[in-house]
Each structure stands twice: as structure tokens, then as C-alpha cells.
Amino acid sequence: MTDRTFNFSAGPAVLPEEVLREAQEALWDLEGSGIGILEHSHRGGPFDRVIAEAEADCRSLAGIPEDYAVLFLQGGASTQFAMLPANFLPDSGTADYWLTGSWSKKALKEAQHYAGRAGVHVAASSEATGFDRIPRQDEAQASEAPVYVHFTSNNTIVGTQFQSEPEVPASAWLACDASSDLFSRPIDPTRYGLLYAGAQKNLGPAGVTLVILRRELLECQVRALPTMLRYATHAEKGSRFNTPPTFGIYVMGRVFKWIQAQGGLAAMARRNQEKAELLYQCLEDLDFYHCTAGEGSRSLMNVTFRTPSPELDERFVAEASQQGLAGLKGHRSVGGMRASIYNAFPRAGCEALAAFLRDFASHNG
């Protein structure tokens, strides 16, 4: 790493330095073509290779079989909140949602636009305790015959993360908003009907959304929809029904290659575990800070914590910024601090933050 500020932002977030350098060159000249990636036609040969490699590397990393479509879309996870039920939740059916934070609440709200008399069912929720944990499976109550079960695998605002997928009734398939932890650890894509993720955490820049979808679901569209809101449209046209976010797809493809070079998803998971444990152990040892997420639910992506007072929280963020530790202010809805340590965030940044945690506690405890 060069001498850069440690960026703890929750998203858009840190990207691998090697990828940034490659993108810098590609902006001027993509692979010796004499034309930059921002200028290439999305239907020309150079971009054909970019999108084909991105999909192939995506499949290779996660073991995605051919009976799943890999789509590069736009609109972020927020569009997927509506697109998923619009395509697959019939007026006569219901879907189960696990409520574990702000984003899962937004997903449920969008689904309610398409729910019929049966409505959308809350299968489990930790809202009563401020979303400080992931509900246990034995606390969940499934509806009678849901079409799908939806959950948010990592909750960036409150710093909680599912350790394993929720159980799914026999009638249902699993849908997941994995925006902030997709490809941070191994996954079994065949356990899902649909996975989606905004790129701006672990995968690339804002503006491109990755969707992994079981192809047989493309035949299950339950209502007439505008062309751009149909998954089948994008699957049939290879994510190029309209002009796709070409630069975002290029960068995402380079991130896939970077993950491969680091040893793949298993190696990425080990690195992320080590970084998070370094911070959580420091926070617990100091007896000055409070981790806001409960043990057993703590995220490896977003470490959330507080000092003894809001005033000290503000001082902490300000002084940390002066030390080159940026982006630590917690989400405006919950306050406190949040250290986002996605795939590309270096261990050295966690070590620097741990040192600052100890120093700040010694001067303010």
C-alpha cells in the first residue's frame, strides 16, 4: 500500500489498490485498444471480452452453475427490493421476511406494494431490541406456504451478520440482499433462488448491481411488467438490453481477479475474520467502549461501537480523522462509530485503529 488514508467508509468503500491502478490505466487505454473503458461501445469486441471475463470469474469464484444467470444491472439493491416481488410474488401468495435492520425493513415495504390479501409475513425480527442481534431460527415463525424467504445477510448500519442462512419451508426458495458481504466468504449459490448485491461495498464502484438468479425462476414471472423490470429481459440479452454500467462492470471484473489472486473466497474469509477479531478483542479488552451488536451476531464487515457518551463519540471521530482514520462516524440513524473493513481494507488499517482505540481510552477514560 502507498501512504493513503485508511478509509472506513461503509460505502462507497475501499477498493484494492491494484485494481485502482488498473482502472486508472484502462480509463486512458483499455488493453492496448487506444480507447478508454469509458468510451468503448458496450456492444464492441473489447467490452465483449470485459463482460465475458467478469461473468466467468464470478462463476469460478463462487461455483455458480450454468443453471443460474449472472446479471449486471443498475438501480442498486433498492431497485431489487421492488423488482424481486414484482416478478415473483403473486397476488394470491405471500413471502416471508426476516427483519434485522433498516435495509430489510425497506425491502419489506417495497414487497407490500405487490402483496395481495395474504400480505407479506414477518417471519422473525429483532426490532424490539434495536436490531442488536440476528434472531435465532427457533424464534422464527414461517407463514403457511411462502413463495420465498428474504433476508439481509449483513446489516451495515447496526453491525450484525447472519452466520448461516435461515431455514426455508418446502414451498419456498431463498432470496438474499447480500450487498455488504457477498464474496467476503464462501457461499453455496445453489441454496438460493436469487442473490443480489450493490457493488459499492466489496465488489466495485457504485452504479452496478450483481444478481445471481436460478434460471427456472425466469419462467415464473407472475404479472405483466415494464420491459426493464423483468429479469428475463436482462437474462435474454446478457445484461445488455440497454447500455450497462460499463466502467462498473470492468472494475468488478478486476476485483474478481484480485480475489482469485488472494486465494479465493476461503482465504478472503480468513483475512476478514482476523481483521474483525483484532478490533473486537481490542474493544472488549479496554472496558471503555461498548460493542452495539450482540455476541454471536457481530459482523465481520462493519464493527459498530460507542464510547461512554455522545460527546466523546464526536471527539473520537474528529481525532481519528486527524490521524488518517477516515469514515468512522456511525450512521446518522444510530450514532456512535462504525469501522467498515470490507475485503480490500488492509489489516494495517485495523492495527492503526486498534492503537488509536487504546490511546483514546487512556486519555479519556
Cα angle for residues 114, 117, 119 (degrees, 5° grid): 55
The one catalytic residue in 96, 98, 103, 313 is 103
C-alpha cell at 198: 450493490
Q: Among this protein's residues, is 106 annotated catalytic? A: no
d(CA 156, CA 331): 9
d(CA 13, CA 285): 28
Specify which residues 198 forms β-bridges with: 209
C-alpha cell at 202: 466489496
The one catalytic residue in 173, 201, 258, 275 is 201
Q: Would you list the DSSP string of 3-54?
A: S--EE--SSS----HHHHHHHHHHHH-STTSSS-TTTS-TTSHHHHHHHHHH
d(CA 160, CA 249): 28
d(CA 190, CA 167): 14
C-alpha cell at 141: 415463525
Give the number of other CB atoms < 10 A from CB of residue 109.
13
Q: Among this protein's residues, is 177 annotated catalytic? A: yes
The one catalytic residue in 177, 181, 313, 329 is 177
User: Using CA of residue 11, residue 301, residue 285, residue 135, what is the dihedral sign?
Assistant: positive
Catalytic residue positions, numbered: 103, 177, 201
